[in-house]
Chain A
Amino acid sequence: MRILNPLIAVLALVAVALMAAQVPGGQGLIGVVLPYLAFAIFLGGFAHRVKTWAKSPVPFRIPTTCGQANSLPWIKQNKLDCPSTKAGVIGRMLLEVFLFRSLFRNTRAEMHDGPKLVYGSSKSLWLFGLLFHYTFLVIVLRHLRLFMDPIPAFVGALEFGDGFMQIGVPVLYMTDAIFVGAITFLFLRRVVLPNIRYISLPADYFPLFLILGIAITGILMRYVLRVDIVSIKQLTHGLATFSPHVVGEIGSIFFVHVFLVCALMIYFPFSKLMHAGGVFMSPTRNMMNNSRMVRHINPWNDPNIKPHSYEHYEDEFREFMKEAGLPVDKE
Protein backbone atom coordinates (compact mmCIF):
# COMPACT_ATOMS: atom_id res chain seq x y z
CA MET A 1 0.00 0.00 0.00
CA ARG A 2 2.85 2.36 0.78
CA ILE A 3 4.06 1.90 -2.79
CA LEU A 4 0.71 1.53 -4.50
CA ASN A 5 -0.99 4.64 -3.12
CA PRO A 6 1.62 7.14 -4.33
CA LEU A 7 1.61 5.39 -7.72
CA ILE A 8 -2.17 5.73 -7.93
CA ALA A 9 -1.86 9.39 -6.93
CA VAL A 10 0.58 10.11 -9.77
CA LEU A 11 -1.54 8.18 -12.27
CA ALA A 12 -4.56 10.17 -11.10
CA LEU A 13 -2.65 13.40 -11.74
CA VAL A 14 -1.86 12.18 -15.26
CA ALA A 15 -5.54 11.31 -15.83
CA VAL A 16 -6.70 14.71 -14.56
CA ALA A 17 -4.24 16.47 -16.86
CA LEU A 18 -5.26 14.36 -19.85
CA MET A 19 -8.93 15.15 -19.27
CA ALA A 20 -8.35 18.84 -18.57
CA ALA A 21 -6.33 19.18 -21.78
CA GLN A 22 -9.43 18.07 -23.78
CA VAL A 23 -11.91 20.40 -22.08
CA PRO A 24 -12.28 23.92 -23.54
CA GLY A 25 -10.35 26.33 -21.34
CA GLY A 26 -8.52 23.48 -19.69
CA GLN A 27 -5.36 24.09 -21.72
CA GLY A 28 -5.27 27.70 -20.59
CA LEU A 29 -5.75 26.58 -17.00
CA ILE A 30 -2.88 24.07 -17.10
CA GLY A 31 -0.67 26.08 -19.43
CA VAL A 32 -1.03 29.55 -17.94
CA VAL A 33 -2.80 29.77 -14.57
CA LEU A 34 -1.35 26.68 -12.92
CA PRO A 35 2.33 27.38 -13.72
CA TYR A 36 2.15 30.85 -12.17
CA LEU A 37 0.31 29.52 -9.14
CA ALA A 38 2.69 26.60 -8.71
CA PHE A 39 5.76 28.79 -9.14
CA ALA A 40 4.47 31.26 -6.54
CA ILE A 41 3.75 28.43 -4.09
CA PHE A 42 7.18 26.96 -4.75
CA LEU A 43 9.08 30.20 -4.10
CA GLY A 44 6.85 31.40 -1.26
CA GLY A 45 6.77 28.00 0.41
CA PHE A 46 10.52 27.56 0.05
CA ALA A 47 11.24 30.94 1.64
CA HIS A 48 8.68 30.25 4.37
CA ARG A 49 10.21 26.90 5.28
CA VAL A 50 13.67 28.44 5.46
CA LYS A 51 12.29 31.26 7.62
CA THR A 52 10.70 28.85 10.10
CA TRP A 53 13.98 26.95 10.36
CA ALA A 54 15.83 30.20 10.92
CA LYS A 55 13.47 30.97 13.79
CA SER A 56 14.30 27.85 15.76
CA PRO A 57 17.12 28.56 18.19
CA VAL A 58 20.18 26.34 18.19
CA PRO A 59 21.60 26.91 21.67
CA PHE A 60 24.19 24.16 21.53
CA ARG A 61 27.12 23.36 19.30
CA ILE A 62 25.95 20.20 17.61
CA PRO A 63 28.08 19.70 14.48
CA THR A 64 28.49 16.11 13.35
CA THR A 65 32.08 15.17 14.01
CA CYS A 66 33.38 12.69 11.50
CA GLY A 67 37.09 13.04 12.22
CA GLN A 68 39.68 14.14 14.75
CA ALA A 69 38.67 17.38 16.46
CA ASN A 70 41.06 20.27 16.99
CA SER A 71 43.10 19.22 20.00
CA LEU A 72 46.72 19.28 21.13
CA PRO A 73 49.21 20.62 18.61
CA TRP A 74 50.77 17.21 17.95
CA ILE A 75 47.42 15.59 17.16
CA LYS A 76 46.50 16.12 13.54
CA GLN A 77 43.05 17.64 13.13
CA ASN A 78 40.72 16.51 10.35
CA LYS A 79 39.92 20.01 9.16
CA LEU A 80 37.11 19.03 6.80
CA ASP A 81 35.32 16.40 8.82
CA CYS A 82 35.55 18.21 12.13
CA PRO A 83 35.92 21.86 11.19
CA SER A 84 36.82 24.37 13.87
CA THR A 85 37.03 27.37 11.52
CA LYS A 86 34.62 29.12 9.18
CA ALA A 87 36.70 28.10 6.17
CA GLY A 88 36.45 24.49 7.26
CA VAL A 89 32.68 24.70 7.60
CA ILE A 90 32.35 26.31 4.16
CA GLY A 91 34.63 23.69 2.65
CA ARG A 92 32.68 20.85 4.21
CA MET A 93 29.36 22.38 3.12
CA LEU A 94 30.51 22.93 -0.48
CA LEU A 95 31.79 19.38 -0.78
CA GLU A 96 28.56 18.09 0.73
CA VAL A 97 26.38 20.11 -1.62
CA PHE A 98 28.36 19.45 -4.79
CA LEU A 99 29.73 15.95 -4.15
CA PHE A 100 27.45 14.43 -1.46
CA ARG A 101 30.39 13.43 0.74
CA SER A 102 28.19 12.11 3.53
CA LEU A 103 26.66 9.57 1.14
CA PHE A 104 30.13 8.56 0.02
CA ARG A 105 30.73 7.40 3.58
CA ASN A 106 27.68 5.14 3.40
CA THR A 107 28.29 1.65 4.74
CA ARG A 108 26.44 -1.60 4.56
CA ALA A 109 26.07 -3.95 7.51
CA GLU A 110 25.85 -7.67 6.84
CA MET A 111 25.39 -10.61 9.16
CA HIS A 112 27.52 -13.65 8.39
CA ASP A 113 27.76 -17.09 9.95
CA GLY A 114 29.41 -17.05 13.28
CA PRO A 115 27.38 -14.86 13.91
CA LYS A 116 29.66 -12.14 12.65
CA LEU A 117 28.67 -8.57 11.80
CA VAL A 118 30.53 -7.21 8.79
CA TYR A 119 30.55 -3.62 7.55
CA GLY A 120 31.33 -2.93 3.92
CA SER A 121 31.55 0.15 1.75
CA SER A 122 28.40 0.96 -0.20
CA LYS A 123 28.84 3.57 -2.88
CA SER A 124 25.86 2.88 -5.12
CA LEU A 125 23.51 5.29 -3.36
CA TRP A 126 26.14 7.99 -3.58
CA LEU A 127 26.79 7.33 -7.27
CA PHE A 128 23.18 7.18 -8.38
CA GLY A 129 22.15 10.03 -6.10
CA LEU A 130 24.85 12.19 -7.62
CA LEU A 131 23.92 11.16 -11.17
CA PHE A 132 20.26 11.83 -10.47
CA HIS A 133 20.86 15.32 -9.11
CA TYR A 134 23.34 16.43 -11.75
CA THR A 135 21.34 15.13 -14.70
CA PHE A 136 18.24 16.79 -13.23
CA LEU A 137 20.20 20.05 -13.06
CA VAL A 138 21.34 19.76 -16.67
CA ILE A 139 17.79 18.96 -17.78
CA VAL A 140 16.38 21.98 -15.95
CA LEU A 141 19.07 24.25 -17.42
CA ARG A 142 18.42 22.89 -20.91
CA HIS A 143 14.78 23.91 -20.52
CA LEU A 144 15.88 27.54 -20.31
CA ARG A 145 15.84 27.54 -24.11
CA LEU A 146 12.06 27.60 -23.85
CA PHE A 147 11.97 30.56 -21.47
CA MET A 148 14.65 32.87 -22.79
CA ASP A 149 15.28 34.75 -25.98
CA PRO A 150 18.10 35.23 -26.90
CA ILE A 151 19.14 31.92 -25.46
CA PRO A 152 22.25 32.10 -23.26
CA ALA A 153 25.31 30.47 -24.81
CA PHE A 154 25.78 27.95 -22.00
CA VAL A 155 22.39 26.40 -22.80
CA GLY A 156 23.53 25.71 -26.35
CA ALA A 157 26.78 24.27 -25.04
CA LEU A 158 24.89 21.96 -22.66
CA GLU A 159 22.64 20.78 -25.48
CA PHE A 160 25.62 20.13 -27.71
CA GLY A 161 27.49 18.16 -25.08
CA ASP A 162 24.39 16.30 -24.03
CA GLY A 163 23.51 15.23 -27.57
CA PHE A 164 27.12 14.55 -28.48
CA MET A 165 26.44 10.91 -29.39
CA GLN A 166 24.10 12.04 -32.21
CA ILE A 167 21.82 9.06 -31.72
CA GLY A 168 18.56 9.44 -33.64
CA VAL A 169 16.67 12.56 -34.64
CA PRO A 170 15.99 14.58 -32.57
CA VAL A 171 19.29 13.63 -30.91
CA LEU A 172 19.10 11.56 -27.78
CA TYR A 173 20.23 13.48 -24.73
CA MET A 174 22.50 11.37 -22.54
CA THR A 175 21.11 13.02 -19.43
CA ASP A 176 17.61 11.76 -20.27
CA ALA A 177 18.79 8.16 -20.26
CA ILE A 178 20.99 8.52 -17.16
CA PHE A 179 18.21 10.36 -15.34
CA VAL A 180 15.64 7.62 -15.89
CA GLY A 181 18.23 4.98 -14.96
CA ALA A 182 19.10 6.79 -11.74
CA ILE A 183 15.47 7.25 -10.64
CA THR A 184 14.82 3.61 -11.40
CA PHE A 185 17.76 2.66 -9.21
CA LEU A 186 16.59 4.92 -6.38
CA PHE A 187 13.15 3.30 -6.61
CA LEU A 188 14.39 -0.30 -6.84
CA ARG A 189 16.70 0.31 -3.90
CA ARG A 190 13.67 1.07 -1.75
CA VAL A 191 11.83 -2.00 -3.00
CA VAL A 192 14.58 -4.61 -3.12
CA LEU A 193 16.50 -3.98 0.12
CA PRO A 194 14.30 -5.22 2.97
CA ASN A 195 15.66 -2.80 5.56
CA ILE A 196 15.17 0.19 3.25
CA ARG A 197 11.70 -1.03 2.27
CA TYR A 198 10.80 -1.20 5.96
CA ILE A 199 11.58 2.47 6.54
CA SER A 200 10.19 3.77 3.21
CA LEU A 201 7.01 5.79 3.37
CA PRO A 202 4.54 7.05 0.76
CA ALA A 203 6.36 10.40 1.04
CA ASP A 204 9.46 8.62 -0.28
CA TYR A 205 7.76 6.91 -3.19
CA PHE A 206 5.52 9.78 -4.29
CA PRO A 207 8.30 12.17 -5.38
CA LEU A 208 10.09 9.31 -7.14
CA PHE A 209 6.97 8.41 -9.12
CA LEU A 210 6.19 12.05 -9.81
CA ILE A 211 9.68 12.79 -11.10
CA LEU A 212 9.69 9.58 -13.11
CA GLY A 213 6.34 10.65 -14.59
CA ILE A 214 7.81 14.02 -15.54
CA ALA A 215 10.79 12.32 -17.17
CA ILE A 216 8.66 9.83 -19.08
CA THR A 217 6.23 12.44 -20.39
CA GLY A 218 9.15 14.65 -21.40
CA ILE A 219 10.87 11.81 -23.22
CA LEU A 220 7.63 10.78 -24.94
CA MET A 221 7.08 14.36 -26.00
CA ARG A 222 10.54 14.71 -27.50
CA TYR A 223 11.18 11.34 -29.09
CA VAL A 224 7.91 9.51 -29.60
CA LEU A 225 4.76 11.63 -29.84
CA ARG A 226 6.55 14.81 -30.91
CA VAL A 227 4.99 18.22 -30.46
CA ASP A 228 5.14 21.58 -32.16
CA ILE A 229 8.05 23.17 -30.30
CA VAL A 230 7.41 26.64 -31.74
CA SER A 231 3.88 26.80 -30.29
CA ILE A 232 5.25 25.56 -26.98
CA LYS A 233 7.96 28.17 -26.87
CA GLN A 234 5.37 30.84 -27.64
CA LEU A 235 3.52 29.74 -24.51
CA THR A 236 6.52 29.22 -22.22
CA HIS A 237 8.35 32.34 -23.38
CA GLY A 238 5.06 34.16 -22.82
CA LEU A 239 5.04 32.84 -19.25
CA ALA A 240 8.49 34.33 -18.65
CA THR A 241 7.53 37.70 -20.14
CA PHE A 242 4.05 37.83 -18.55
CA SER A 243 2.14 37.64 -21.82
CA PRO A 244 1.20 33.98 -22.11
CA HIS A 245 -1.41 32.51 -24.38
CA VAL A 246 -2.01 29.04 -25.74
CA VAL A 247 -1.69 29.03 -29.52
CA GLY A 248 -1.56 26.41 -32.22
CA GLU A 249 -2.00 22.71 -31.76
CA ILE A 250 -0.02 21.53 -28.77
CA GLY A 251 -0.36 17.83 -27.99
CA SER A 252 -2.02 16.70 -24.74
CA ILE A 253 1.28 15.14 -23.65
CA PHE A 254 2.68 18.64 -23.17
CA PHE A 255 -0.10 19.51 -20.75
CA VAL A 256 0.44 16.29 -18.80
CA HIS A 257 4.13 17.16 -18.53
CA VAL A 258 3.42 20.71 -17.36
CA PHE A 259 0.75 19.51 -14.94
CA LEU A 260 3.16 17.06 -13.30
CA VAL A 261 5.89 19.71 -13.09
CA CYS A 262 3.43 22.08 -11.42
CA ALA A 263 2.44 19.31 -9.01
CA LEU A 264 6.12 18.87 -8.16
CA MET A 265 6.60 22.60 -7.57
CA ILE A 266 3.54 22.76 -5.32
CA TYR A 267 4.57 19.62 -3.45
CA PHE A 268 8.18 20.68 -3.04
CA PRO A 269 8.01 23.08 -0.06
CA PHE A 270 5.88 20.67 1.97
CA SER A 271 8.00 17.61 1.47
CA LYS A 272 11.36 16.01 2.07
CA LEU A 273 12.49 17.64 -1.17
CA MET A 274 13.16 20.71 0.98
CA HIS A 275 16.52 19.13 1.78
CA ALA A 276 17.61 21.45 -1.04
CA GLY A 277 17.35 24.38 1.35
CA GLY A 278 17.62 22.31 4.50
CA VAL A 279 21.18 21.18 3.94
CA PHE A 280 22.35 24.77 4.43
CA MET A 281 20.16 25.21 7.52
CA SER A 282 21.27 22.00 9.16
CA PRO A 283 23.02 22.87 12.47
CA THR A 284 24.92 19.60 12.37
CA ARG A 285 26.59 20.80 9.20
CA ASN A 286 26.75 24.58 9.38
CA MET A 287 28.40 24.92 12.81
CA MET A 288 32.04 24.98 13.77
CA ASN A 289 33.20 22.46 16.31
CA ASN A 290 34.95 25.02 18.52
CA SER A 291 33.28 24.42 21.86
CA ARG A 292 36.69 23.82 23.48
CA MET A 293 38.01 27.17 22.28
CA VAL A 294 35.04 29.47 22.70
CA ARG A 295 32.56 29.61 25.56
CA HIS A 296 29.07 29.58 24.03
CA ILE A 297 26.41 31.03 26.27
CA ASN A 298 22.79 30.19 25.74
CA PRO A 299 21.41 33.47 24.37
CA TRP A 300 18.19 33.42 26.35
CA ASN A 301 19.67 32.59 29.75
CA ASP A 302 18.13 34.78 32.48
CA PRO A 303 20.97 37.12 33.62
CA ASN A 304 19.42 37.26 37.10
CA ILE A 305 20.14 33.61 37.67
CA LYS A 306 23.71 33.52 38.94
CA PRO A 307 25.98 30.51 38.77
CA HIS A 308 25.40 28.23 41.73
CA SER A 309 28.58 26.41 42.76
CA TYR A 310 28.61 23.21 44.79
CA GLU A 311 30.16 25.11 47.71
CA HIS A 312 27.17 27.44 47.84
CA TYR A 313 24.82 24.53 47.40
CA GLU A 314 26.33 22.75 50.38
CA ASP A 315 26.23 25.90 52.49
CA GLU A 316 22.54 26.20 51.73
CA PHE A 317 21.56 22.59 52.38
CA ARG A 318 24.26 21.38 54.88
CA GLU A 319 21.87 20.67 57.74
CA PHE A 320 19.43 18.73 55.54
CA MET A 321 22.25 16.76 53.99
CA LYS A 322 23.61 15.78 57.40
CA GLU A 323 20.15 14.73 58.53
CA ALA A 324 19.78 12.55 55.47
CA GLY A 325 23.18 11.00 56.10
CA LEU A 326 24.80 12.44 52.96
CA PRO A 327 28.54 13.13 53.06
CA VAL A 328 29.51 16.81 53.17
CA ASP A 329 32.84 18.50 52.37
CA LYS A 330 32.77 20.96 55.30
CA GLU A 331 31.44 19.99 58.71
Chain B
Amino acid sequence: MYGKGRIIPALIIFIGLMTAPMWYGSGDASKLPNPEKPKGYTECVEDTQYMRTSHMKVLNDWRDDILREGGARVATTANGTEYVRSLQNGCMKCHNNREKFCGECHKYASVNPYCWDCHLQPKEAM
Protein backbone atom coordinates (compact mmCIF):
# COMPACT_ATOMS: atom_id res chain seq x y z
CA MET B 1 0.00 0.00 0.00
CA TYR B 2 1.33 3.41 -0.98
CA GLY B 3 0.74 6.63 0.92
CA LYS B 4 -0.26 4.79 4.11
CA GLY B 5 0.59 7.78 6.25
CA ARG B 6 -2.16 9.84 4.64
CA ILE B 7 -4.73 7.29 3.54
CA ILE B 8 -5.20 5.40 6.80
CA PRO B 9 -5.77 8.52 8.95
CA ALA B 10 -8.11 9.86 6.26
CA LEU B 11 -10.12 6.62 6.30
CA ILE B 12 -10.28 6.66 10.10
CA ILE B 13 -11.59 10.24 10.01
CA PHE B 14 -14.14 9.29 7.36
CA ILE B 15 -15.43 6.31 9.33
CA GLY B 16 -15.40 8.40 12.51
CA LEU B 17 -17.58 11.07 10.90
CA MET B 18 -19.93 8.50 9.42
CA THR B 19 -20.45 6.76 12.74
CA ALA B 20 -20.67 10.01 14.70
CA PRO B 21 -24.21 9.39 16.02
CA MET B 22 -23.02 6.08 17.48
CA TRP B 23 -20.16 7.38 19.60
CA TYR B 24 -21.37 10.96 20.13
CA GLY B 25 -23.14 11.00 23.50
CA SER B 26 -26.38 10.03 21.81
CA GLY B 27 -28.20 9.66 25.10
CA ASP B 28 -30.62 7.01 26.13
CA ALA B 29 -32.91 5.69 23.43
CA SER B 30 -35.41 4.53 26.03
CA LYS B 31 -35.93 8.11 27.21
CA LEU B 32 -39.09 9.06 25.36
CA PRO B 33 -41.24 12.14 25.19
CA ASN B 34 -44.22 11.93 27.48
CA PRO B 35 -46.79 14.54 26.53
CA GLU B 36 -49.11 15.36 29.40
CA LYS B 37 -52.63 14.03 28.75
CA PRO B 38 -55.45 16.41 29.59
CA LYS B 39 -57.42 15.61 32.74
CA GLY B 40 -61.10 14.99 32.35
CA TYR B 41 -61.13 14.55 28.58
CA THR B 42 -60.82 11.25 26.75
CA GLU B 43 -61.63 12.15 23.18
CA CYS B 44 -59.81 14.36 20.71
CA VAL B 45 -61.12 15.72 17.41
CA GLU B 46 -59.73 12.73 15.53
CA ASP B 47 -58.32 9.37 16.65
CA THR B 48 -54.97 9.29 18.42
CA GLN B 49 -52.90 7.87 15.56
CA TYR B 50 -54.28 10.45 13.14
CA MET B 51 -53.53 13.23 15.60
CA ARG B 52 -49.99 11.90 16.03
CA THR B 53 -49.22 12.02 12.34
CA SER B 54 -51.42 14.85 11.08
CA HIS B 55 -52.26 17.37 13.84
CA MET B 56 -50.46 20.07 11.87
CA LYS B 57 -52.64 19.40 8.86
CA VAL B 58 -55.75 19.67 11.04
CA LEU B 59 -54.63 23.10 12.23
CA ASN B 60 -53.79 24.23 8.73
CA ASP B 61 -57.10 22.99 7.35
CA TRP B 62 -59.01 24.81 10.09
CA ARG B 63 -57.19 28.03 9.31
CA ASP B 64 -57.79 27.76 5.58
CA ASP B 65 -61.43 26.77 6.05
CA ILE B 66 -62.33 29.44 8.59
CA LEU B 67 -60.28 32.36 7.31
CA ARG B 68 -60.50 31.79 3.57
CA GLU B 69 -63.68 29.79 3.00
CA GLY B 70 -65.80 31.21 5.80
CA GLY B 71 -66.15 27.82 7.49
CA ALA B 72 -67.81 27.26 10.86
CA ARG B 73 -65.93 27.90 14.09
CA VAL B 74 -67.60 25.08 15.94
CA ALA B 75 -67.57 21.39 15.04
CA THR B 76 -68.39 18.12 16.78
CA THR B 77 -66.27 15.04 17.44
CA ALA B 78 -67.27 11.53 16.45
CA ASN B 79 -69.02 11.13 19.81
CA GLY B 80 -70.94 14.37 19.43
CA THR B 81 -68.91 16.60 21.71
CA GLU B 82 -68.75 20.19 20.51
CA TYR B 83 -65.38 21.87 20.17
CA VAL B 84 -63.99 25.15 18.89
CA ARG B 85 -61.83 24.87 15.79
CA SER B 86 -58.99 26.98 17.13
CA LEU B 87 -55.51 26.45 18.49
CA GLN B 88 -55.84 28.77 21.48
CA ASN B 89 -59.49 28.19 22.29
CA GLY B 90 -59.85 24.63 21.04
CA CYS B 91 -56.68 22.57 21.41
CA MET B 92 -55.32 24.55 24.32
CA LYS B 93 -58.60 24.22 26.21
CA CYS B 94 -57.74 20.62 27.07
CA HIS B 95 -54.01 20.53 26.29
CA ASN B 96 -53.41 23.64 28.34
CA ASN B 97 -49.67 23.41 28.82
CA ARG B 98 -47.65 24.14 25.74
CA GLU B 99 -44.33 23.02 27.20
CA LYS B 100 -45.63 19.78 28.66
CA PHE B 101 -47.79 18.80 25.71
CA CYS B 102 -46.58 20.29 22.42
CA GLY B 103 -42.99 20.83 23.50
CA GLU B 104 -42.33 17.26 24.60
CA CYS B 105 -42.44 15.65 21.16
CA HIS B 106 -41.41 18.75 19.23
CA LYS B 107 -38.21 19.00 21.22
CA TYR B 108 -37.57 15.27 20.88
CA ALA B 109 -37.90 15.39 17.10
CA SER B 110 -36.41 18.87 16.66
CA VAL B 111 -39.58 20.37 15.26
CA ASN B 112 -39.96 24.12 15.64
CA PRO B 113 -43.40 25.09 14.42
CA TYR B 114 -44.00 28.78 13.96
CA CYS B 115 -47.48 28.70 15.60
CA TRP B 116 -46.15 30.66 18.54
CA ASP B 117 -44.71 33.44 16.43
CA CYS B 118 -48.25 34.89 16.50
CA HIS B 119 -50.36 32.79 18.87
CA LEU B 120 -50.12 33.04 22.62
CA GLN B 121 -50.69 30.41 25.23
CA PRO B 122 -53.91 31.10 27.16
CA LYS B 123 -51.90 31.73 30.32
CA GLU B 124 -49.44 34.08 28.68
CA ALA B 125 -52.32 36.13 27.28
CA MET B 126 -53.71 36.77 30.71
Contacts and interface: CB of A to CB of B under 8 A. Distances in A.
B4 interface: yes
A169 B2 contact: no
A184 interface: no
A249 B48 CA distance: 11
B79 interface: no
Contacts, number: 98
Interface residues of A, number: 46
B56 A170 contact: yes
Contact of B28 (A47, A241, A281): A241
B57 A169 contact: yes
A149 B26 contact: yes
A150 B21 CA distance: 11
A240 B26 contact: yes
Contact of A230 (B3, B19, B52): B52
Nearest to A52: B1
B49 interface: yes
Contacts of A42: 18
Contact of A47 (B4, B15, B60): B15
B105 to A, nearest CB: 5
B86 to A, nearest CB: 16
Given A50-B7, A170-B56, A249-B49, A243 B112 contact: no
Contacts of B56: 169-170
B29 A237 contact: yes
A26 B26 CA distance: 27
Interface stretch (A10-18, A131-139, A221-229, A304-312): A221-229
B29 A238 contact: yes
Interface string B1-28: 1111001001100110011111010111
A230 B109 contact: yes
Q: What DSSP secondary structure best describes chain A's contact surface?
A: helix
B21 A144 contact: yes
A208 B60 CA distance: 34
B30 A243 contact: yes
Nearest to A143: B21
Contacts of B77: none
Given A43-B15, A234-B29, A54 B2 contact: yes
B29 A228 contact: no
Interface string A308-324: 00000000000000000
Interface of B: 1-4, 7, 10-11, 14-15, 18-22, 24, 26-33, 49, 52-54, 56-57, 59-60, 105, 108-114
10 contacts: A50-B11, A144-B21, A147-B21, A147-B26, A148-B21, A171-B114, A230-B52, A234-B29, A234-B32, A238-B29
